[in-house]
Each structure stands twice: as structure tokens, then as C-alpha cells.
Amino acid sequence: MSEDRLVIRVGDKDIEINEETLKILRKYKRTEMTLEQLAASLSLEGWEEAYELVKKIPLWVMDIEPTMWSTIFKKHASEAKKKS
């Protein structure tokens, strides 16, 4: 995890968690969006990659409002850096 962004490796792709991807992930979590639809929304190869992404995302991430993402993530990254 770098200081200013969260990137999750899925297959041969790096998926950056930002406001836009967070909106899509929150829609997946809160609606009946399927893994196939999630994969299409994030330009993934199929539901398997979408499932892999969902498994790798820290649980707290999908509860953050997209507009608050950069503020909260920077605070979290800063605290994690101090602990290491």
C-alpha cells in the first residue's frame, strides 16, 4: 500500500481503489449487482476476477463514502506508516 493510493492486484491487472471504483464497489455491496456486472463495470475479464477483487478488499473500504475516500485513506495510510 503506497502512501497516496490503494492498489489491488487481480490476475495481471492492478485495480486502483479511488472514488470511481469505490462507487461501483458500494453499488455491488448494496444492491443485487452480480459479479458479472461488477466485472463489466470495472473492465475485468469475468466474474472470477471480480470475486478475487472482492475477496482482497479490506472490509472497511466499502463502508467509506466515495467523497470521503481520499481524506480517510490518507489518514489510515499515515497511521499505518507510523506503526511500521
Taking the model in full, what pTM does it have? 0.81
Is residue 57 domain-resident? yes
Is residue 1 domain-resident? no
C-alpha cell belonging to residue 27: 453499488
Q: In terms of residue numbers, what domain contains 76? A: 6-83
Is residue 14 domain-resident? yes
- Residue 3: its pLDDT value, please? 55
Is residue 33 domain-resident? yes
Among residues 13, 4, 1, which one has the least CA distance to residue 58? 1
- Residue 84: its pLDDT value, please? 66
What phi and psi values does residue 14 have, to the nearest 5 degrees?
-105, 120
Is residue 68 domain-resident? yes
Segment 23-74, tens digit of pLDDT: 999 999 999 999 999 999 999 999 999 999 999 998 889 999 998 988 888 7
Is residue 31 domain-resident? yes
- Go through the chain and tell me how many residues it has: 84
What is the number of structural domains in the chain?
1
